[in-house]
């Protein structure tokens, strides 16, 4: 991986963090699930995807959408329910989607996107061009039958599907070990013969390296793969969920900040200087402002949209 | 003696058949166990086999045509030279075995 | 063998479905079939017979027993460019697939602002025929009220073909509900059989005295009851809905305007059923009218033949319901002063 990839990864993580912060300052912020703390998983995964791949995710969609390369103004517009959003303001964060940009997108039902992703993979398999479907989900989805059923069929049919479990160690308030019996979540895939591994989700280089290895495996007809990334959720589960963790735990999580980690590494390696880091932050601030301005300027949908495109 | 070949009813959940294929024509002699005709139904194919030596004298329902369970499909006889009747309905029913496959 | 082309054939109900699916698979390389036992086995009712041999395992795919995943896969595949038919042997087990069907397939076009479409057909077989409480249900009415889902129900060979052809060309999710008791039947099918458009009911039997609305196997029951009633001078008009969502209220209202008496007939429950919806909509358009609903008794349907027969509408019960309906006083049309 080249240095520019690392700088790009740092900028992408900074940008996701900054856009979410800007979103939170708004009165019309609405009900949000934030990616902060988990940016390395989204950015590391996205670095392994090619233009013709499709990325699906859960309701925690902001960093995945931005990492995939969606226009930030469009993303912000969708998040605040404006008509310029790719879903015309109707989907919001929970259903953020832009298939033309390789982002089949979010579905707010826990584990609800897994079999959908397998179906997308089935369609991509028929194209025979090496494109794959990747699906992001949390530890909370791992108790669902949908995961078991999807892994079974994906393995049987050797679907080009990469399952990425962003395990932030909590399903709302329930610690991972209280909800799920396996020693590690990648163990769920092993009985199906699916290539699986568990990595540090707070290190974007580690995530990227693992994602590249597994996407290569999937792309080359190796069948599906399962990547577990262990991350930390900096905020509570959602903007309406109470925080259940104590100050000490939260502080310890912050020590693992993937942005700080990569920044420090790049400074230590001489890839970046203090000035270039500051320049990067300035660029991020400007892009966030531009995205917000674009979204602000977009109108809300008209009430008649409530029954448009029903089908 | 002359017989009518029928798929003997009543058969649960089966009222009509469509002839798939005759495994003989006028004059064909069948030995016990020989496949005489295959019938298509809504669920399975029915194979009808001769249970005694018999001669196929006249096919009444051609391949592709339909018939009710219990109604005549063909006229059979013990020997090839017995004169044929006008109608098959009054003939004795031929003993056949049949199997759903 | 005749040199002239055969224009009309009598076929089994399963063959009408098979032909529609085969023609679609021939014409559209993106069309696929998925379900339990659809491959070499040819389908639980032989309704996919020969397709596996003709199109191969990539296009006619046996799945494990996992209805939620089957439908979810069908949805994702449809959204990404294929045209899948997912076949679930018993309507009862679509319950396992309601999350992807209702929460994704029915919502996808709306929630993505039109970016994602789901041209998927989910085929279900409804109805009671000796298989017991969890293999006998008809809950089409539950699916009819989901915005974004279309629901159709064939009643004979011709519309089994016509509705399946239409379903496999629709641009959104369609639930196609056939019935166990239709598979033993046969009927005529033209070589050049037409597609049956959605939202169009048909008059199966014209009549003057009472309108009987039915769909699927109950159309046969309604026609049998009409035969019984005709012998006593009661002339029923039987309407075959064919399409449940969208519903063809225009055809229904034209009939009820003529007869002034409406009996709705379904094998499902009358509580929150199709008849409830039709009765309400007819009265909203025509004003008060004599109406009665007939459906299954409010109980699970046993495999026991005595209990099953006691649970479901039959020709005798339909005829009695029509007689009772016609004994209630006519409601004069509203005064238009």
Q: Please tell me whether residues C167 and C76 are part of one structural domain.
A: yes
pLDDT at B7: 94
Determine the pLDDT at residue C199: 98
pLDDT of residue B9: 86
Residue ranges in chain C whose pLDDT is less than 50: 336-337
Query: In the predicted model, is pLDDT for residue A1 greater than 50?
Result: no
Asked, for residue C195, whether it belongs to a domain, the answer is no
Nearest-by-Cβ selection for C100 from A85, A86, A112: A112
Confidence of residue A2 (pLDDT cuts 50, 70, 90): low
Strand order across the beta sheet in which A161-167 lies: A105-106, A54-57, A133-138, A161-167, A225-230, A195-200
C195 is annotated as an active-site residue: no
pLDDT at residue number A63: 98
Distance in Å, alpha carbon of C184 to nearest chain B alpha carbon: 5
Do the domain assignments include residue C144? yes
| B73 exposure class (CB count in 10 Å sphere: 0-12, 13-18, 19+) | buried
C182 and C281 share a domain? no
Percent over 90 (pLDDT), chain A: 98
Q: Looking at chain C, which residue has its C-alpha nearest residue A118?
A: C73
Alpha-carbon distance of C207 to C210, in angstroms, equals 7
Asked if residue A223 belongs to a domain, the reply is yes
Q: Tokens 């589960």 — which residue?
A: A237
Residue C334 lies in a domain: no
**Of residues C15, C67, C237, C267, which has the active-site annotation?**
C67
Residue C332 covered by a domain: no
Q: Which of C219, C189, C188, C183 is nearest to C201 (CA)?
A: C219
Out of C47, C135, C179, C267, the active site residue is: C135
Tell me whether residue C135 is one of the annotated catalytic residues: yes
pLDDT digit string (tens) for A209-255? 999 999 999 999 999 999 999 999 999 999 999 999 999 999 999 99
Could you say which of C149, C169, C190 is where a domain stops? C190
Query: Residue B95 has what pLDDT?
Result: 84
CB contact under 8 A, B66 and C10: yes
Distance, first Cα to last Cα, chain A: 45
Report pLDDT for C48.
98
* Gap between the Cα atoms of B70 and B78, Å rounded: 21
The conformational region for residue A164 under phi > 0 = left, psi -120 to 50 = alpha, else beta, is beta
For residue B80, pLDDT over 80 is answered with yes
Range of the domain at A139: 3-293
Are C89 and C139 within one domain? yes
CA distances from C327 to C205, C209, C222, C256, C315 (A): 22, 12, 19, 16, 18
Please tell me the predicted confidence (pLDDT) of residue A189: 98
The pLDDT tens digits of the residues spanning A107-117 come to: 999 999 999 99
Q: How many domains does chain A have?
A: 1
Each residue of A38-64: pLDDT tens digit?
999 999 999 999 999 999 999 999 999
Q: What is the ipTM of this complex?
A: 0.97
CB-based contact (8 Å) between C257 and chain A? no
Is C241 a member of any domain?
yes
Q: Residue C307 region, left (φ>0) first, then alpha (ψ -120 to 50), else beta? A: alpha
Pick the CATH number of B2-82+91-100 from 2.40.50.100, 2.70.98.10, 1.10.340.30, 3.30.70.1380: 2.40.50.100
Write down the pLDDT at residue A3.
62
Asked if C46 and B66 come within 8 Å (Cβ–Cβ), the reply is no
Q: Give the closest of C69, C106, C149 to A149, CB-based.
A: C69
Contact assignment for B15 to C184 by CB distance below 8 Å: yes
Q: Report the CATH number that the domain containing residue C296 is assigned in CATH.
A: 3.40.50.920
For A184-220, how does the pLDDT look when each residue is reduced to its tens digit (9 = 90+)? 999 999 999 999 999 999 999 999 999 999 999 999 9
Domain end, chosen from C132, C159, C190, is at C190
User: How many distinct structural domains can be found in chain C?
Assistant: 2
- Residues B50 and C197: their CA atoms lie apart, in Å, by 49
User: C48 and C120 share a domain?
Assistant: yes
C198 in contact with A, Cβ within 8 Å: no
Considering CB atoms only, which of A85, A97, A146 is closest to C69? A146
What is the average pLDDT value for chain B, to the nearest integer?
Answer: 93
What's the CATH number where A102 sits?
A: 3.40.50.970
Cα–Cα distance for residue pair A267/A264, rounded to 1 Å: 5
Q: Which residues of A touch C72 (CB under 8 A)?
A: 114-116, 118-119, 146, 150
Same domain, C261 and C163: no
Question: Residue C16 sits in a domain of what CATH number?
Answer: 3.40.50.970
User: How close does chain A come to C25, measured CA to CA in Å?
Assistant: 15
Residue C158: the pLDDT is: 98
| A299 found inside a domain | no
> C76 and A91: CB-CB below 8 Å?
no
Average pLDDT along chain A: 97
Helix spans in chain A (H): 3-24, 39-46, 62-68, 72-79, 114-127, 145-156, 176-179, 204-219, 247-254, 258-269, 274-297
Beta-carbon separation of C99 and A104 below 8 A: no
- List B residues 12-71 in contact with C (Cβ-Cβ < 8 A): 13-16, 18, 40-43, 66
Interface contact B13-C184, CB threshold 8 A:
yes
Name the closest residue on chain B to residue C12, using Cα atoms: B42
Is A77 inside a domain boundary?
Answer: yes
User: CA of A158: which chain C residue's CA is closest?
Assistant: C58
Tell me: do C135 and C226 sit in the same domain.
no
Residue A307 counted as domain residue: no
Q: What residue segments make up the domains of chain B, in order of their start?
A: 2-82+91-100
**Do C261 and C210 share a structural domain?**
yes
List of chain B residues whose C-beta atoms are within 8 Å of the C-beta of residue C184 = 13-15, 42-43
Within-domain flag for C33: yes
Residue A311: what pLDDT?
85
Residue A308 belongs to a domain: no
- Summarised one tens digit per residue, pLDDT across range A112-157 is 999 999 999 999 999 999 999 999 999 999 999 999 999 999 999 9
Residue of B nearest to C184 (CA): B42
Residue C74 falls within a domain, yes or no?
yes
How far apart are the CA of B27 and the nearest CA of chain C, in angstroms? 21
| Residues of chain C found within 8 Å of residue A120, distances taken between Cβ atoms | 76-77, 79-80
pLDDT the model gives residue C196: 97
Query: Which site among B13, B42, B65, B101 would you substitute to test the C interface, given the most C Cβ atoms closer than 10 Å to its Cβ?
Result: B42
Which chain B residue's Cα is nearest to C13?
B42
Residue A302 located in a structural domain? no
C21: domain range? Answer: 11-190
Please tell me the distance from the alpha carbon of residue C252 to that of residue C256, in angstroms, as a whole number.
Answer: 6
Diameter over CA atoms, chain A: 56
């Amino acid at each position: 991986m080249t240095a520019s990839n690392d700088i790009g990864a740092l900028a992408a993580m900074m940008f996701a963090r900054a856009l979410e912060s800007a979103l939170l300052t708004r009165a019309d912020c609405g009900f949000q699930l934030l990616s902060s703390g988990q940016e390395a998983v989204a950015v590391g995964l996205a670095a392994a995807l090619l233009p013709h791949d499709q990325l699906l995710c859960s309701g925690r969609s902001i960093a995945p959408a931005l990492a995939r390369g969606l226009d930030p103004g469009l993303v912000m517009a969708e998040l605040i329910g404006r008509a310029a959003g790719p879903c015309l303001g109707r989907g919001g964060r929970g259903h953020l989607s832009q298939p033309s940009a390789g982002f089949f997108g979010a579905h707010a039902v826990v584990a609800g996107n897994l079999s959908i992703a397998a179906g997308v993979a089935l369609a991509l398999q028929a194209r025979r061009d090496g494109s794959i479907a990747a699906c992001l989900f949390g530890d909370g989805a791992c108790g669902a039958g949908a995961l078991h059923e999807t892994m079974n069929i994906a393995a049987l049919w050797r679907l080009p599907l990469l399952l990425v479990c962003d395990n932030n160690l909590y399903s709302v308030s329930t610690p991972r070990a209280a909800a799920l019996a396996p020693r590690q979540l990648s163990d769920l895939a092993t009985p199906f013969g699916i290539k699986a591994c568990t990595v540090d989700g707070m290190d974007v280089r580690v995530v990227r390296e693992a994602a590249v290895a597994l996407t290569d495996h999937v792309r080359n007809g190796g069948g599906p793969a399962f990547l577990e990334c262990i991350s930390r959720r900096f905020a509570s589960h959602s903007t309406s969920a109470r925080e259940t963790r104590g100050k000490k735990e939260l502080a310890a999580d912050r020590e693992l900040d993937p942005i700080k980690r990569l920044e420090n590494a790049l400074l230590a390696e001489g890839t970046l200087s203090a000035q270039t880091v500051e320049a990067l932050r300035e660029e991020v601030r400007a892009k966030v402002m531009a995205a917000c301005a674009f979204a602000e300027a977009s109108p809300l949908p008209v009430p008649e949209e409530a029954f448009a495109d029903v089908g | 003696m002359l017989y009518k070949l029928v798929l003997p009813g009543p058969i649960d959940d089966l009222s009509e058949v469509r002839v798939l294929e005759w495994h003989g024509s006028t004059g064909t002699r069948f030995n016990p166990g020989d496949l005489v005709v295959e019938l298509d139904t809504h669920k399975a194919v029915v194979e009808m086999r001769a249970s005694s030596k018999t001669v196929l004298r006249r096919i009444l329902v051609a391949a592709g045509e339909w018939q009710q369970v219990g109604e005549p499909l063909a006229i059979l006889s013990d020997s090839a030279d017995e004169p044929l009747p006008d109608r098959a309905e009054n003939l004795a029913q031929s003993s056949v075995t049949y199997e759903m496959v | 063998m005749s040199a002239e082309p055969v224009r009309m054939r009598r076929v089994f109900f399963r063959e009408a479905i098979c032909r529609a699916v085969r023609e679609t698979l021939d014409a559209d390389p993106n069309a696929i079939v998925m379900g339990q036992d659809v491959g070499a086995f040819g389908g639980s009712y032989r309704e996919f017979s020969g397709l596996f041999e003709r199109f191969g395992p990539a296009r006619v795919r046996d799945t494990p027993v996992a209805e939620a995943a089957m439908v979810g896969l069908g949805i994702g595949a449809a959204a990404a460019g294929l045209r899948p038919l997912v076949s679930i042997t018993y309507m009862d087990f679509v319950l396992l697939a309601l999350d992807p069907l209702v929460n994704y397939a029915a919502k996808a076009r709306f929630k993505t602002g039109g970016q994602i479409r789901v041209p998927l057909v989910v085929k279900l077989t409804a109805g009671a025929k000796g298989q017991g409480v969890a293999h006998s249900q008809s809950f089409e009415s539950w699916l009819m009220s989901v915005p974004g889902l279309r629901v159709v129900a064939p009643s004979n060979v011709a519309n089994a073909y016509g509705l399946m052809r239409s379903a496999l060309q629709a641009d959104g999710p369609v639930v196609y509900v056939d019935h166990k008791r239709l598979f033993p039947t046969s009927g005529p099918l033209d070589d050049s059989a037409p597609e049956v458009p959605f939202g169009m009911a048909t008059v199966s039997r014209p009549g003057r005295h009472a309108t009987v609305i039915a769909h699927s196997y109950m159309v046969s029951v309604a026609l049998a009851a009409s035969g019984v009633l005709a012998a006593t001078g009661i002339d029923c008009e039987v309407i075959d809905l064919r399409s449940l969502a969208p519903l063809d209220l225009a055809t229904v209202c034209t009939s009820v305007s003529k007869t002034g008496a409406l009996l709705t007939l379904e094998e499902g429950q009358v509580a929150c059923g199709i008849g409830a919806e039709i009765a309400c909509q007819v009265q909203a358009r025509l004003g008060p009218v004599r109406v009665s609903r007939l459906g299954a008794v409010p109980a699970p349907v046993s495999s026991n033949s005595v209990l099953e027969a006691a649970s479901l509408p039959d020709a005798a019960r339909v005829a009695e319901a029509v007689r009772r309906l016609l004994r209630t006083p006519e409601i004069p049309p509203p005064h238009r002063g």
